[in-house]
């Protein structure tokens, strides 16, 4: 038997392979991204990046109805985008099994919120699986697909960052090849018009009851008996923390958590003195358990709904044992920064200099909010920058000349286009800057419809952003090199001055995907006056000591921004000085 | 056997991930259960990064908690200080003397603690200091700091040296193997 040390994401990809998934689609998003990046290794699966999570799920839905097993992966907030097809696909049901992987991010390591997507499973009345390590992550892909086909429903496999990005040992098995299920035209099932949907709604309820009976019986929900003073109901990664914190407690370990096996939980509760419900984020299980009239000794009253858990946090809440900790040293924080050579830096520098009101979006460029650039006013969700700029303009017409939306190329294709259409249609005059760095950088450089390549790296048609903007009615579209500060400054001044919508495409590949062409810069200390202008760029390569700036030659990318902002000509190419 | 916890702390781009891959390889060769956790995403853009490795007969939680790390490998002084309270009383700290200023220090919003190494030594009596940057320069490649530090860790841990060398062979691409062997030996001898 072969074993491998896999992350939860690698294990899910392996599960897709072993359990015969034929089609997989996703939009990248931490902590889910590596699922598709690893599925690519299995040539048997047709895998693709879609422009957004809604489209990805719809592709998976089409594949499922067509008879294939399908997988769709996204981060938690991606499910918000995909919620529309999800909530009706739960009525039509599947043909080939469909698993929706939702990778939640308690603690917001790399997210704008920490919503608990188990709530979605309950809302949509679909099956829900929560793995507690990589082995389970792999196995549960198989369970999810089988449950999906058995109860005619999509199934959610919900991970959290500590599952997605933690490695543990996994047994590898060969692929179970599956033949495509027969596709027969069946509009009463798959055409969700009211007359059909009413029928499906009732069928859905029957499937729900069947799934409930399954939940009571399945080995995915198991009791580990030990001392019966404390009994703990738990799921996902918190199971591991409970094992670590309370090795003597009895545990009802739930792998299938929607619908909840309330009878099983009631039976467990009767046999322990104190019933505790231990779950990160929302009281998803606890509220249902309490509603069923089961006496819960402890849960969210003792354990926070905020952030990640740990063994010591659980030990302290349940046993009242303080973990003896040493005080942490007072240490300056090390926040992430724009990389040396990053094409975003110049844009935010110029926006700040021009005191623009900037609505932002989701990507590396959210770092434009950090000091010293500090030039973002808002960040809400994928695609919000452009409509938020329009709304800001409607609320404050006096600011119209001052409002700029910034959005990345991948994010623009994800959900920025409709906002641009709205701006044109409803008479907005804001300026939109598309930060076109030719990749989805934040999540680790994935291709998208604008890069000219697919997930596998093969060539693909490339969206023409200029033509697209013209097509929706933007007359003023110009392309600027974001390493050229004077051009950027001119473009931003001119475009914000006109009373019509305009798009500036700040185009330059991410500094991490191309090699520098310019020599590194250095500071001539005889000329440097110590004015600190270059420090305003927030470049990690430039430091300031003894009233002079210095550039770390090992790390400089040669973007020339510092040379352009230096009023004294103290900065130039390395070989000259 | 008792679970061994190793925390690798550094700055995005310093190669903590490869170091943890080699370490887990060695642990697996001992027949241990292993869990590893690390944070990706926003944290990679020059921010603090940490990889946690736990190994033993049966490992449940992938998380190392404060006061629980048997070994900390700090790829940079400040990061060593940041994670110092994770070390057990008898734990071993391996710290690279290199300093990388965070943006908060570069902009003058914060001051780099000049006595970081002293603080580390006071609170972690078993501290091994080395100048990974200078050693890597001597070997002609700045990217081997991680394997130099791993060599120093290997010296402190009980795993057979040949297992470390085998793990190197299994994880490092052939063209860089000899260089990384030298880096490992340099760290081991430091």
The complex's ipTM?
0.95
Do the Cβ atoms of A165 and B112 come within 8 Å? no
Do the Cβ atoms of A337 and B62 come within 8 Å? no
How far away is chain B from the Cα of A376, in angstroms, using its nearest Cα?
17
- A552 → chain B, closest CA residue: B100
What is the pLDDT averaged over residues A112-131?
A: 98
Q: What is the pLDDT of residue A577?
A: 45
How do residues A301-318 score in pLDDT, each as one tens digit?
999 999 999 999 999 999
Tokens in use for A230?
């404390």
- Chain A residues 455-514 with a CB less than 8 Å from chain B: none
Do the Cβ atoms of B41 and A339 come within 8 Å? no
Sequence-distant (≥ 6) Cβ neighbours of residue B18 within 8 angstroms: B146, B147, B171, B172
How do residues A316-349 score in pLDDT, each as one tens digit?
999 998 777 777 888 998 988 999 999 999 999 9
User: A312 to each of A284, A301, A316, A328, B55, how far by Cα in Å?
Assistant: 22, 17, 6, 16, 19
Q: What is the pLDDT of residue B44?
A: 63
d(CA A520, CA A559): 8
What is the pLDDT averaged over residues A367-371?
A: 94
Do the Cβ atoms of A30 and B41 come within 8 Å? yes
Core vs surface per residue A378-412: b (16+ CB within 10 A) or e: bbebbbbbbbbbbbbbeeeeeebebbbbbbbbbbb
Angle of CA points A167, A24, A45, to nearest 5°: 90
How far away is chain A from the Cα of B18, in angstroms, using its nearest Cα?
14
- The pLDDT-based confidence of A37 (bands split at 50, 70, 90) is very high
d(CA A508, CA A487): 14
Core vs surface per residue A459-481: b (16+ CB within 10 A) or e: ebeebebeebbeebebeebeebe
How far away is chain A from the Cα of B118, in angstroms, using its nearest Cα?
12
Counted residue by residue, chain B has a size of 190
Sequence-distant (≥ 6) Cβ neighbours of residue A270 within 8 angstroms: none
Do the Cβ atoms of B113 and A367 come within 8 Å? no
- Helix ranges restricted to H, A253-334: 262-270, 284-291, 311-319
How far away is chain B from the Cα of A241, in angstroms, using its nearest Cα?
5
- Chain A residues 306-325 with a CB less than 8 Å from chain B: 310-312, 323-325
CB pairs under 8 A between A and B: 160
Q: Which member of B40, B65, B109 has the closest CB to residue A110?
A: B40
Is the distance from CB of A261 to CB of A215 less than 8 angstroms? yes
DSSP letter for A367, please. G
Q: What is the pLDDT of residue B43?
A: 54
Residues of A in contact with B66 (CB under 8 A): 312, 323, 325-326, 328
Residues of A in contact with B85 (CB under 8 A): 325-329
Kindly tell me if the per-residue pLDDT of A266 is higher than 80: yes
pLDDT in tens, chain B (190 residues): 789 999 999 998 888 989 999 999 999 999 999 999 987 655 567 888 999 999 999 999 999 999 999 999 999 999 999 999 999 999 999 999 999 999 889 888 899 999 999 999 999 999 999 999 999 999 999 999 999 999 999 999 999 999 999 999 999 999 999 999 999 999 999 8
Q: Choose the mutation target among B62, B118, B119, B132 for the interface with A, i.e. most A CBs under 10 Å.
A: B62
Q: Does A1 touch chain B (CB under 8 A)?
A: no
Is the distance from CB of A492 to CB of A419 less than 8 angstroms? no
Kindly tell me if the per-residue pLDDT of A574 is higher than 80: yes
Element containing residue B140 per DSSP (H, E): none
What is the pLDDT averaged over residues A151-164?
A: 98
User: A502 to each of A421, A437, A477, how far by Cα in Å?
Assistant: 12, 19, 6
Q: Which member of A162, A244, A542 has the closest CB to residue B37?
A: A162
Residue A64 CB burial class (10 angstroms; 0-12, 13-18, ≥19): buried
Do the Cβ atoms of A336 and B107 come within 8 Å? no
Residues of B in contact with A364 (CB under 8 A): 45
Is the distance from CB of A417 to CB of A448 less than 8 angstroms? no
- A335 → chain B, closest CA residue: B47
For chain A, the average pLDDT equals 96
Q: What is the pLDDT of residue A321?
A: 84
How far away is chain B from the Cα of A161, in angstroms, using its nearest Cα?
8
How do residues A403-442 score in pLDDT, each as one tens digit?
999 999 999 999 999 999 999 999 999 999 999 999 999 9
Q: What is the pLDDT of residue A326?
A: 73
How far away is chain A from the Cα of B101, in angstroms, using its nearest Cα?
8
pTM of the model: 0.97
Do the Cβ atoms of A329 and B81 come within 8 Å? yes
Q: What is the pLDDT of residue B42?
A: 57
Q: Does A125 touch chain B (CB under 8 A)?
A: no
How do residues A208-237 score in pLDDT, each as one tens digit?
999 999 999 999 999 999 999 999 999 999
Residue A132 CB burial class (10 angstroms; 0-12, 13-18, ≥19): buried
Q: Does A364 touch chain B (CB under 8 A)?
A: yes
Residues of A in contact with B63 (CB under 8 A): 162, 241, 310-311
Kindly tell me if the per-residue pLDDT of A177 is higher than 70: yes
Residues of B in contact with A240 (CB under 8 A): 60-62
How far away is chain A from the Cα of B72, in angstroms, using its nearest Cα?
15
Q: What is the pLDDT of residue B41?
A: 53
Do the Cβ atoms of A540 and B60 come within 8 Å? no
Q: What is the pLDDT of residue A500?
A: 97
Q: Does A30 touch chain B (CB under 8 A)?
A: yes
Name the β-bridge partners of A172. Answer: A2
How do residues A137-151 score in pLDDT, each as one tens digit?
999 999 999 999 999
Phi, psi dihedrals of residue A346, rounded to the nearest 5°: -60, -40
d(CA A128, CA A97): 14
Is the distance from CB of A438 to CB of A505 less than 8 angstroms? no
End-to-end CA distance of chain A: 62
């Amino acid at each position: 038997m072969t074993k491998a040390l896999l992350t939860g994401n690698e294990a899910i990809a392996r599960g897709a392979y072993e359990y015969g998934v034929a089609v997989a689609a996703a939009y990248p998003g931490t902590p889910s991204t590596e699922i598709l990046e690893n599925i690519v290794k299995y040539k048997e699966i047709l895998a693709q990046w879609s422009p957004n999570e809604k489209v990805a799920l719809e592709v998976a839905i089409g594949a499922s109805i067509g008879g294939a097993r399908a997988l769709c992966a996204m981060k938690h907030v991606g499910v918000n985008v995909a919620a529309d097809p999800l909530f009706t696909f739960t009525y039509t049901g599947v043909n080939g099994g469909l698993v929706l992987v939702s990778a939640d991010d308690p603690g917001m390591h790399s997210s704008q919120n920490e919503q608990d997507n188990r709530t979605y499973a309950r809302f949509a009345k679909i099956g829900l699986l929560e793995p507690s390590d990589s082995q389970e992550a792999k196995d549960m892909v198989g369970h999810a697909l089988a449950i999906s086909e058995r109860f005619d429903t999509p199934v959610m496999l919900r991970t959290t960052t500590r599952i997605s990005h933690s490695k543990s040992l996994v047994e590898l098995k060969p692929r179970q090849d599956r033949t495509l299920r027969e596709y027969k035209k069946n509009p009463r099932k798959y055409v969700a018009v009211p007359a059909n949907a009413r029928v499906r709604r009732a069928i859905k309820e029957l499937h729900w009851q069947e799934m409930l009976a399954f939940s009571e019986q399945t080995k995915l929900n198991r009791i580990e008996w030990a001392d019966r003073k404390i009994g703990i109901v738990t799921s996902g990664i918190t199971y591991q923390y409970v094992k670590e914190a309370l090795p003597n407690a009895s545990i009802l370990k739930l792998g299938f958590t929607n619908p909840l096996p309330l009878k099983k939980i009631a039976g467990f509760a009767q046999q322990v003195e104190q019933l505790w419900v231990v779950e990160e984020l929302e009281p998803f299980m606890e509220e249902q358990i309490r509603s069923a009239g089961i006496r819960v000794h402890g849960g969210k009253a003792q354990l926070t709904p905020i952030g990640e858990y740990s063994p010591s946090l659980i030990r302290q809440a349940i046993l009242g044992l303080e973990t003896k900790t040493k005080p942490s040293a007072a240490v300056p924080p090390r926040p992430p920064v724009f990389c040396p050579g990053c094409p975003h830096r110049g844009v935010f520098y110029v926006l700040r200099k021009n005191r623009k009101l900037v609505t932002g979006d989701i990507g590396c460029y959210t770092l434009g909010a950090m000091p010293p650039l500090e030039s973002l006013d808002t960040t809400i969700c994928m695609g919000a920058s452009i409509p938020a700029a329009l709304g800001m303009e409607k609320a404050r017409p006096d600011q119209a000349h001052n409002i700029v939306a910034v959005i990345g190329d991948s994010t623009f294709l994800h959900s920025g286009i409709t906002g641009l259409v709205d701006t044109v249609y409803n008479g907005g005059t804001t300026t939109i800057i598309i930060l076109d760095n030719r990749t989805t950088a934040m999540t680790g450089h994935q291709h998208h419809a604008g890069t000219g390549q697919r997930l596998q790296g093969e060539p693909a048609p490339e969206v023409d952003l200029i033509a697209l903007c013209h097509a929706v009615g933007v007359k003023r579209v110009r392309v600027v090199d974001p390493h050229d500060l004077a051009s950027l400054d001119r473009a931003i001044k001119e475009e914000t001055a006109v009373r019509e919508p305009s798009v500036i495409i700040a185009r330059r590949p991410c500094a991490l995907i191309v090699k520098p062409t310019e020599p590194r810069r250095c500071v001539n200390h005889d000329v440097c006056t110590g004015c600190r202008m270059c420090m305003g760029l927030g470049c990690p390569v430039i430091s300031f000591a003894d009233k002079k700036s210095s550039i770390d030659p090992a790390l400089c990318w040669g973007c020339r921004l510092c040379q352009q902002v230096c009023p004294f000509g103290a900065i130039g190419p390395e070989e000259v000085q | 056997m008792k679970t061994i916890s190793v925390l690798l702390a550094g700055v995005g781009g310093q190669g903590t991930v490869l170091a943890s891959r080699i370490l887990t390889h060695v642990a697996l060769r001992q027949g241990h259960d292993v869990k590893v956790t690390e944070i990706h995403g926003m944290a990679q853009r020059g921010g603090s990064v940490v990889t946690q490795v736990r190994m033993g007969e049966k490992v449940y939680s992938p998380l190392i908690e404060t006061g629980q790390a048997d070994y900390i490998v700090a790829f940079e002084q400040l990061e060593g200080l940041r994670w110092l309270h994770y070390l057990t009383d008898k734990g071993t700290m391996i710290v690279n003397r290199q300093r990388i200023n965070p943006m908060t220090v570069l902009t003058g919003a914060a001051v780099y603690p000049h006595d970081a190494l002293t603080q580390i030594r006071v609170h972690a009596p078993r501290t091994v200091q080395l100048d990974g940057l200078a050693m890597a320069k001597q070997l002609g490649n700045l990217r081997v700091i991680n394997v130099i530090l791993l060599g120093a860790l290997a010296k402190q841990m009980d795993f057979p040296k040949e297992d470390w060398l085998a793990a190197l062979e299994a994880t490092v691409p052939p063209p860089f193997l000899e260089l990384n062997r030298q880096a490992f030996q340099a760290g081991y001898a430091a």
